[in-house]
Amino acid sequence: MRLLQRALAPIVQQQQQQESSGIGGDASSGSGSSPAAVDASLSSGGSSALEMNLLTARAKRLRFDRSPIHDWGLFAAEPIGPNQLVLEYLGELVRPRLADLRESAYERIGIGSSYLFRCEEHVIDATVKGSVARFINHSCDPNCAPRVISVGGRPRIAIYSRRRIAVGEELSYDYKFPLATEDEELIRCLCGAAKCHGYLNWVGPVPPDRREDSAE
């Protein structure tokens, strides 16, 4: 943790400036780490402070365990019906520029998997502070989906079920990575779904000269 604090020291001042202007700072509590940045822009759920106030009461019982998809995952500990709120994705609400600086700092100290959830014009960083929702893995045929709900002018992320989820089934949603450019490596997908695209950042046939991320 000391190493992380030293790496983040150069951007603390910028974060404080953002917080004083009303953007940034806390939206959560906890600690941890996940696979890359996630985009929630496709799934929007209106403005409902009441809905978010009910999150704690409505959140489902979940189990944290080793995942066959990637490292650790989150599993249902009770039956979950379709279109039900599962849990909230918590973290620090920051601007994209600060999130980019943090991501670079995490990489410098060897944190290969940062938990950055891109949400509209902001980013929720759950790498150091966040809920267990950051451990939900990607799937090309997911059983959950994120919804953006505005509360007091700030975006919050709720994870909802897309279909029935059985006890012991791993939770997943589509990370919706942007397609790789010509200079970017392809990230192989390990979700194992029948509809798997093969890569997180590519859809369709892959040119023979494209590189794959060796870390995967």
Is residue 129 located within the same domain as residue 182? Answer: no
Please write the tens of the pLDDT for every residue from 80-121.
999 999 999 888 888 888 888 988 888 888 776 668 888 767
Verify that 66 and 137 share a domain, yes or no.
yes
Same-domain pairing of 181 and 164: no
Residue 207 has pLDDT above 60, yes or no: yes
- pLDDT higher than threshold 80 for residue 122: yes
171 near 75, Cβ under 8 Å?
Answer: yes
Residue 32 has pLDDT above 50, yes or no: no
Domain that residue 135 falls in: 2-173
User: What mean pLDDT is predicted for residues 10-32?
Assistant: 37
Lowest mean pLDDT among 173-177, 184-188, 204-208: 204-208
Burial 135-158 (b: 16+ CB within 10 A, else e): bbbbbbebbbbbbbbbeeeebbbb
Residues 138 and 73 in one domain: yes
56 and 77 in a single domain? The answer is yes
Q: Does the model's pTM come out above 0.75?
A: no
Q: Is the domain of 205 the same as that of 157?
A: no
Q: Are residues 86 and 35 in the same domain?
A: yes
Distance CA 117, CA 151 (A): 17
Greatest Cα pair distance, the chain, in angstroms, is 51
Whether residues 20 and 65 share a domain: the answer is: yes
Regarding whether 72 and 99 lie in a shared domain, the answer is yes
Q: List Cβ neighbours of 164 (8 Å cut-off, separation of 6 or more).
A: 79, 80, 81, 82
Look at residue 28 in the predicted model and tell me its pLDDT.
33
Handedness of CA 202, 119, 167, 216 (dihedral sign): positive
* Number of domains into which the chain is organized: 2
* Residue 12 clears pLDDT 80, i.e. is over it: no
- 131 and 199 belong to one structural domain: no
